[in-house]
């Protein structure tokens, strides 16, 4: 992880560095340093929602270690996967060492209840110790949930499938510990548990004159899983390169990771399998004067590499660590044995004081599906084979950003997104990637 610069120390060191424009500061120091009154200074937005309500820190510049930087707000709104909802969502930031050598740590939390009788409790963490020697990544969830499912792949069968309502409960524990081995390069180990239970296809009816069969039920019968519960439990080996200047809202840097997971039955998995998850992100600066004007790129892959995994644990849109993929489609709209996802987003400041910003984004997703068949009295369910790049489903949209906490660069995000035969409004604390 790149070592961010402490504005207090930087201002003292840069006091003798004159500039005619911010390009001089970028050339002599780094992107993020801007020219103010003829001298280079770290960029900082002038105003935020916390300033507006009188809760912002009075001191300027990067805060000292172990000062909590909250951006918590009530969530009352609508989500395409959950319906009307209320609760709390937010991001907490904190430096666990001097800012000159330590990147800000972040915790993103959600506690929501929806009109569809869903309870969501989720914590997603990226914690960096002093001097960025260790990085801890976590994804912990408890869900009492229901969601529509459409089958596997992004082919014509899944595109035209009628939605099947599925109830389930989920306990997820994903935790990885990584150690810096050379600069921004980390290696580490972890553990991942996904325990689904009380799974029910609520509109499935096997006794009807024309039986109604859900894709999860058929897949489970075809591959020997219980249709009512499943477990994926495994050990992970992870490699990470992280040169971002922030874990919350990067202005520059690269992020690349690869995680290989082995899920043996002796750790509790329903059946043995392995899977690979990899991603790469780029944050390209667009303006020397306004460093938060950024073009972001994100490429993400996840797939089953051997064995078979339970239906609900398969790669699915919106089910990554922070539920960020696939704006434009309802969570779970696409699912398969392999997922390939790409996104580009233009982020820009609208008001000079930094309170209001905007984004324009586009994404594309493709999922693979195996050919399988299951049958019972009076019914047969057959799934078509689909390659991972055979059918690509695009989406895109635009949104507004309201600066919540300028110390931690935490925005409140309001996005409007469109997919194929799909539209939704997304509300979030923090950037999507």
Give the residue, 308 or 323, on which the prediction is more confident: 308
CA distance 89 to 146: 20
The angle at the Cα of 139, spanning 201 to 72, to the nearest 5 degrees, equals: 100
pLDDT at residue 60 greater than cutoff 90: no
Identify the DSSP state of 269: -
* 76-80, 104-108, 203-207: segment of lowest average pLDDT: 76-80
The pLDDT, as a whole number, for residue 16 is: 63
* Residue 387 belongs to domain spanning: 44-429
pLDDT class for 78, splitting at 50, 70, 90? low
Q: What percent of the chain has pLDDT over 70?
A: 95
Identify the DSSP state of 212: B
pLDDT class for 357, splitting at 50, 70, 90? very high
CA distance 398 to 424: 11
The pLDDT, as a whole number, for residue 63 is: 86
User: Which residues in 9-82 belong to E strands, given as ranges?
Assistant: 33-36, 39-42, 69-79
Residue 220's φ and ψ, nearest 5 degrees, are: -65, -40
pLDDT at residue 14 greater than cutoff 70: no
Residue 24's φ and ψ, nearest 5 degrees, are: -65, -40
Specify whether the CB–CB gap between 401 and 361 falls below 8 A: no
The pLDDT, as a whole number, for residue 104 is: 94
What is the Rg, in whole angstroms, of the alpha carbon atoms belonging to the chain?
23
Give the residue, 196 or 41, on which the prediction is more confident: 196
Report the mean per-residue pLDDT for the chain: 92
The CATH number of residue 331's host domain is 2.40.160.50
Q: Quick one: how far is CA 181 from the chain centroid?
A: 25
Residues 246-279: pLDDT tens digits?
A: 999 999 999 999 999 999 999 999 999 999 999 9
- Using alpha carbons, select from 408, 426, 376 the residue that is nearest to residue 126: 408
pLDDT at residue 54 greater than cutoff 90: no
What residues form DSSP beta bridges with 52? none
Helix (H, G, I), strand (E, B) or coil at 126: strand
Q: Answer whether residue 295 is part of any domain.
A: yes
DSSP calls for 371-382 = -EEEEETTEEEE
Q: Answer whether residue 123 is part of any domain.
A: yes
The pLDDT, as a whole number, for residue 55 is: 83
Helix (H, G, I), strand (E, B) or coil at 216: helix
Q: Answer whether residue 12 is part of any domain.
A: no
The pLDDT, as a whole number, for residue 8 is: 47
pLDDT at residue 61 greater than cutoff 90: no
Q: Answer whether residue 18 is part of any domain.
A: no
Q: Answer whether residue 39 is part of any domain.
A: no
pLDDT at residue 5 greater than cutoff 90: no
The pLDDT, as a whole number, for residue 77 is: 67
* 99-113, 122-136, 218-232: segment of lowest average pLDDT: 99-113
Residues 397-409: pLDDT tens digits?
A: 999 999 999 999 9
Q: Assign residue 409 a region (left: φ > 0; alpha: ψ between -120 and 50; beta: otherwise).
A: left
pLDDT class for 42, splitting at 50, 70, 90? confident
Residues 81-96: pLDDT tens digits?
A: 666 778 988 899 999 9
CA distance 211 to 218: 12
Per the structure, the count of domains in the chain is 1
Q: Assign residue 218 a region (left: φ > 0; alpha: ψ between -120 and 50; beta: otherwise).
A: alpha
Give the residue, 12 or 394, on which the prediction is more confident: 394
User: Region 294-316: what's the mean pLDDT?
Assistant: 98
pLDDT at residue 222 greater than cutoff 80: yes
CA distance 169 to 172: 10
Q: Answer whether residue 249 is part of any domain.
A: yes
User: Region 217-244: what's the mean pLDDT?
Assistant: 97
Q: Answer whether residue 157 is part of any domain.
A: yes
Q: Answer whether residue 315 is part of any domain.
A: yes
């Amino acid at each position: 992880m790149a070592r961010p610069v402490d504005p207090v120390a930087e201002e003292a060191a840069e006091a003798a560095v004159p500039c005619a424009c911010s390009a001089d500061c970028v050339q002599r120091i780094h992107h993020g340093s801007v020219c103010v009154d003829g001298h280079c200074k770290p960029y900082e937005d002038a105003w935020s929602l916390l300033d507006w309500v009188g809760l912002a820190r009075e001191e300027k510049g990067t805060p000292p270690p172990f000062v909590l930087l909250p951006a918590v707000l009530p969530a009352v709104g609508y989500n395409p996967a959950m319906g009307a909802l209320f609760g709390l969502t937010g991001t907490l930031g904190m430096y666990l060492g001097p800012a000159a050598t330590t990147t800000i740590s972040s915790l993103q939390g959600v506690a929501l209840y929806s009109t569809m009788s869903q309870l969501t409790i989720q914590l997603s963490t990226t914690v960096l110790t002093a001097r960025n020697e260790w990085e801890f990544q976590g994804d912990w969830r408890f869900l009492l949930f229901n969601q529509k499912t459409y089958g596997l792949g992004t082919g014509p069968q899944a595109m035209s499938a009628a939605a099947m309502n599925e109830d389930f409960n989920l306990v997820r524990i994903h935790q990885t510990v990584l150690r810096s081995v050379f600069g921004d390069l980390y290696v580490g180990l972890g553990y991942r548990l996904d325990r689904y239970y009380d799974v029910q296809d609520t509109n499935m009816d096997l006794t009807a004159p024309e039986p109604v069969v859900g894709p999860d039920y058929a897949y489970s019968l075809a591959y020997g899983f219980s249709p009512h519960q499943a477990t994926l439990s495994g050990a992970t080996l992870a490699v990470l390169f992280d040169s971002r200047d922030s874990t919350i809202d990067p202005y520059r840097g690269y992020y690349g990771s690869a995680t290989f997971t082995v899920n043996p039955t002796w750790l509790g998995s329903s059946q043995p399998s392995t899977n690979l998850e990899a991603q790469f992100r780029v944050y390209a600066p667009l303006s020397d004067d306004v460093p938060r004007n950024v073009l972001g790129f994100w490429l993400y892959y996840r797939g089953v590499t051997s064995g078979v995994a339970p239906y609900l644990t398969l790669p699915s849109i919106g089910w990554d660590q922070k539920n960020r993929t696939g704006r434009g489609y309802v969570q779970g709209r696409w699912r398969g044995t392999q997922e390939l996802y790409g996104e580009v987003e233009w982020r820009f400041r609208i008001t000079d004081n930094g309170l209001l910003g905007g984004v324009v984004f586009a994404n594309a997703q493709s999922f693979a599906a195996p050919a399988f068949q299951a049958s019972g009295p009076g019914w047969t369910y057959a799934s078509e084979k689909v390659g991972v790049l055979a059918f690509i489903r695009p989406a895109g949209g635009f949104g507004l950003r309201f600066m919540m906490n300028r110390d931690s660069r935490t925005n409140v995000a309001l996005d409007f997104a469109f997919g194929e035969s799909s539209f939704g409004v997304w509300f979030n604390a923090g950037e999507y990637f």
